[in-house]
Structure 1
Amino acid sequence: MDCVEAGGPPAGAGCGGYVVGETVKLLKELNAFDEYDVILFDVLGDVVCGGFAAPLNYSDYCMIVTDNGFDALFAANRIAASVREKARTHPLRLAGLIGNRTSKRDLIDKYIDSVPMPVLEILPLIEDIRVSRVKGKTLFEMAETDPTLSYVCDYYLNIADQILSEPEGVVPQDVPDRELFSLLSDFYLNPSQPPVQNKELELDLMMV
């Protein structure tokens, strides 16, 4: 396994999206796309910038990594829009969505009801995921000396198995921004209320 990091310009002094686009061009010139069976390209979530979306021009699949929050899912919808647009001219499909470091998936489920797509995995709140980054190690390396982490690795192995099976994937039909804002904000502004009979039961218990 080889790893390449595409460094950007100093903060406030250039465009990171331009660097991503140029990196993709360089990898193509070096024939890197023909040297490996699997290539993963990790980019920032909001792909309104054409540079950040450049890897999609050479991809078979896109995977959206998000949490169960408003902002992340708003960005996820932008990625879905980018996949839809790129799929017009490229054999690109959305493999699915990955929920990352979240104890709930209720807002994710609300989103995919409007934008149907597979859910590849939901990773719970596992602090070792963050610790691995600080230590500069993969979770698999950490699991070699700490077998209790093997269950965390299983989440990633499950995702890998699904991708290696070459799923059909989908071309997502993203939701317009205003409609999505209304959909997701309603989740916070008007949370679902418990059934009436539960309220009555609660009152009865209080009276007892």
Structure 2
Amino acid sequence: MYQGYGGVNCVEAGGPPAGAGCGGYVVGETVKLLKELNAFYEYDVILFDVLGDVVCGGFAAPLNYADYCIIITDNGFDALFAANRIVASVREKARTHPLRLVGLVGNRTSKRDLIDKYVEACPMPVLEILPLIEDIRISRVKGKTLFEMAEFEPALTYVCDFYLNIADQLLSQPEGVVAHELHDRELFSLLSDFYLNPEEKKQENHQDNLDFMIV
């Protein structure tokens, strides 16, 4: 365990060498170890940053101990397909303990049209849409949080506000939802039509513009 920026304690659940084992197994074992060490009861907030491949039981293991789940996705087909699987996993886990889905965060995207299309079909809150800002990627390379970088680059303060908004919503202990995922075929149809019928999309956007002008 290492202490990071702002006194936050951090644990990296590293996986085995590529092709030599199961990363999901490591995540599951790490969660068990943290429980044995009573780590779950020593902190006000514990965040698990886990891959979206919840078909693997190991990657879904933190949901067994969580109060909330936040889905991080971009505005693309593949990410939303994975997000839909997470919705299914939350619904399944919610059968046995009070796990709730807080909502969805759009990650580094200049558009949200597919996200909006998905949450219309599978209702859930959209907590925030993080803009397509290169500094978010740079912060990872530098090994620093955006808040740490903002101390020396005040221009980044506005980016931090997006994350503070998400934190405020989470700390308010929202009721959350247990959404019902879309069937795979239904999801494919919903999202693929968006790509396969661009003319219809243009007409819809044009109509939206007309409506806006009339108002």
**TM-score bucket (shorter structure):** over 0.9
1:194 corresponds in structure 2 to 203
Displacement, 1:193? Answer: 3.1
Q: Given the alignment, which residue of 120, 138, 142 partners 1:135?
A: 142
Please list the CA deviations of residues 12-31 of structure 1 after superposition, one character each: whole Å capped at 9, or x if unmatched.
00000000000000000000
Q: TM-score, normalised by structure 1?
A: 0.93
Percent of paired sites with the same residue: 84
Residue 31 (str. 1) matches residue 63 (str. 2): no
Please list the CA deviations of residues 88-112 of structure 1 after superposition, one character each: whole Å capped at 9, or x if unmatched.
0111000000000000100000000
Residue 115 (str. 1) matches residue 122 (str. 2): yes
Q: Distance in 2 between matches of 1:74 and 1:194?
A: 26
Residue 48 (str. 1) matches residue 55 (str. 2): yes
The DSSP-based 3-state class of the residue aligned with 2:97 is coil
Displacement, 1:117? Answer: 0.2
Displacement, 1:194? Answer: 2.4
2:211 corresponds in structure 1 to none
The DSSP-based 3-state class of the residue aligned with 2:18 is coil
> What is the number of residues matched between the two proteins?
197
Q: Distance in 2 between matches of 1:109 and 1:46?
A: 22
Q: Flag as ranges the 4+ runs of structure 1 deviating above 4 A.
A: none
For structure 2, which runs of at least 5 residues remain unmatched after alignment? 1-7, 208-215
1:73 corresponds in structure 2 to 80
Write the letter of the residue equivalent to 1:18.
Y
Write the letter of the residue equivalent to 1:148.
A
2:213 corresponds in structure 1 to none
Please list the CA deviations of residues 151-202 of structure 1 after superposition, one character each: whole Å capped at 9, or x if unmatched.
010000000000000001000100011110111101100121326x98xxxx
Displacement, 1:46? Answer: 1.8
Q: Distance in 2 between matches of 1:133 and 1:174?
A: 32
Q: Distance in 2 between matches of 1:26 and 1:46?
A: 21
Please list the CA deviations of residues 106-163 of structure 1 after superposition, one character each: whole Å capped at 9, or x if unmatched.
0000000111000000001010000000001000000000100000100000000000
1:64 corresponds in structure 2 to 71
The DSSP-based 3-state class of the residue aligned with 2:70 is strand
- Equivalent residues in 2 for 1:77-156, closer than 5 Å: 77-156=84-163
2:191 corresponds in structure 1 to 184
Q: TM-score, normalised by structure 2?
A: 0.90
Please list the CA deviations of residues 15-65 of structure 1 after superposition, one character each: whole Å capped at 9, or x if unmatched.
000000000000000000000000000000120001000000000000000
Write the letter of the residue equivalent to 2:106.
G
For structure 1, which runs of at least 5 residues remain unmatched after alignment? 199-208
The DSSP-based 3-state class of the residue aligned with 1:65 is strand
Q: CA RMSD in A?
A: 1.1
Q: Given the alignment, which residue of 173, 184, 189 partners 2:180?
A: 173
